[in-house]
Amino acid sequence: MHACEVSCPQAAEVERQLSTQVHSLRDDFREKSLSTSQHMTRLETLQAEIQMLSERKMELERRVHAMLEENELLQNTVDDLREKTMLLERQCHEKDLQLRQSQLELQEVQVSHRQLTARLEEVTEERSLHGLTPHPSSLLCEIEQSMEQEEQEQEREQLRLQLWEAYCEVRSLCSHLRGNDVTDSALSTDSSMDESSETSSAKDVPTGSIHTSLLELRRLTQNLLDGNESTGSRRSDEEALEEQVRKLGEELRDLREMYEAGQDKSHCSEEEVLRLHNQIALLSVEMCSLREDNERMKTMAEIREPSEQLQSAIRDRDEAIAKKKAVEMELAKCKIDIMSLNSQLLDAIQQKLNLSQQLEAWQWPFLSFRTTLSPPWFPPSFPAVEDDMHRVIDQQLMDKYQDEWRSAPSSLSGSSKPHGGQTSRRAHRVSDRDKKLFSFFKKN
């Protein structure tokens, strides 16, 4: 009986511990499911952030690539404009050199013209002087005159040749100043000039042609210097050249402005590129950290997948339920043993009561006789034994009823179904017997 009293609190304690473990396992499973859902939400958020940052990085890379291409195009445009400017400056310099060369040639022709004019005047004065002097009649004078005439003829021939050369040079200068690529036809007569040098006459150089050519040369040079010639091809070329130079100057200024604007824009684009590079570096660092977090979350998710966690929790729950069922079976067995022991105890008490009743029946004549005689040597009755028995029986009955009130009727429904009918019938029989004994003890 004492062992049964000790085993009942132990079984209740074990049941309480098992229920506590089941509740803790349920709480752990609930926390794990909540943490898994939170981790999955966090993982989806991180994946969305990674996708957004990847798109932003690609957009920034496209912008950087576009800016680099635009900068390269601007640099190529600046290089082309610089080359074009250098070419135009070179052409302008060549035109200036040609103009200076033409001015130098014109000055040389003017000097040679003045020299020839002075010499022609001297020769004319000498002829006039010779024509005014009287002719000697002597042979010596005639010889001298013939020699002088021959010398004069030679000088005249040389003068004619020089005049012809000057005339050709003046015509070539005029044609060059007029912009004609083909020189005057007089230049083509250089080969025939030596053949006709002996038979040349005044008709070789037309009268007044040198003066006309000089006047034309002077007019062209004056127009070239004053800038008043509008119909000449040379002046038109010069005006076109000046207009082209002016346009080139304007284009050069525009190109310089564009170059400066391109430099400013390239500087701004370089600053933007640096800023974008810094942003890309920061984004790459963030991407690395997010990738590490993602990898860590993936590893954690791979280590602890929801299905595996659920399966492990289900296994733990099944094990806990199996343990609980086993404990309930043990508890039911213990209760059955306790009930059997209680029934045996009650049988023993019943037998003891029967024996006590028989003893009382046996002692009744002696008690009546003792009351009549009441000798001092007769042993008294045994009220202490009866009180102890009453106390033990009351305690057992109270413990039994308290255990029945505490235990849930459903705890034995699933685990002790095979023993349900027998146990209920046995418990009902024992409870009826206990009630009878309790009523009997109350009567006594």
- pLDDT at site 53: 86
Closest among 171, 158, 154 to 206, alpha carbons compared: 171
Question: What is the three-class DSSP state of 22?
Answer: helix
Query: Side chain identity at 295, as an amino acid letter?
Result: E
C-alpha to C-alpha distance for 269 and 262, rounded to whole angstroms: 10
Whole-angstrom Cα distance, residue 320 to residue 26?
10
314-334 tens-digit pLDDT:
787 788 888 878 888 887 887
Structure tokens belonging to residue 108: 């040389």
Could you tell me if 412 and 420 are in contact, meaning their C-beta atoms sit under 8 angstroms apart? yes
Give 390's DSSP letter: H
Tokens 């000046």 correspond to 242
Distance CA 429, CA 271 (A): 100
pLDDT in tens, 66-83: 888 888 888 888 888 888
Residue 388: CB atoms within 10 Å? 11
Retrieve residue 290's tokens.
Answer: 């997010």
Helix (H) or strand (E) holding 114: helix 2-132
Q: What are 226's two structure tokens?
A: 């004053």
179: phi > 0 → left, psi -120 to 50 → alpha, else beta; which?
A: left
> What is the rounded distance in angstroms from the CA atom of residue 91 to the CA atom of residue 95?
6
How many other C-beta atoms are found inside a 10 Å radius of the C-beta of residue 53?
15
Calculate the alpha carbon distances from 312 to 19, 38, 41, 230 in Å.
Answer: 19, 19, 22, 107
Could you read off the pLDDT tens digit of each residue along the chain, which spans 444 residues? 555 555 666 777 877 888 787 788 878 778 877 877 787 888 888 888 888 888 888 888 888 888 888 888 888 888 888 888 888 888 888 888 888 887 788 888 778 778 877 877 887 777 777 655 444 445 565 666 666 667 767 777 777 777 777 778 777 777 777 764 333 444 444 444 444 443 344 445 565 666 677 677 767 776 666 654 444 555 566 666 667 667 766 766 776 676 677 667 767 767 776 777 677 777 777 777 777 877 777 776 666 555 666 677 778 778 888 887 888 888 788 778 777 777 777 777 777 777 777 777 776 655 555 555 444 444 444 444 455 556 666 676 677 667 766 664 444 444 444 444 444 444 444 455 555 444 444 444
Rounded Cα distance, 360 and 302, in Å: 82
68's CB contacts (< 8 A; 6+ apart) are: 273
Contact predicate 244/94, CB 8 Å:
no
Token pair 């409870």 is found at 431
What amino acid occupies position 308?
Answer: E
CA distance 424 to 429: 8
Q: List the beta strands (DSSP E) in 256-298.
A: none
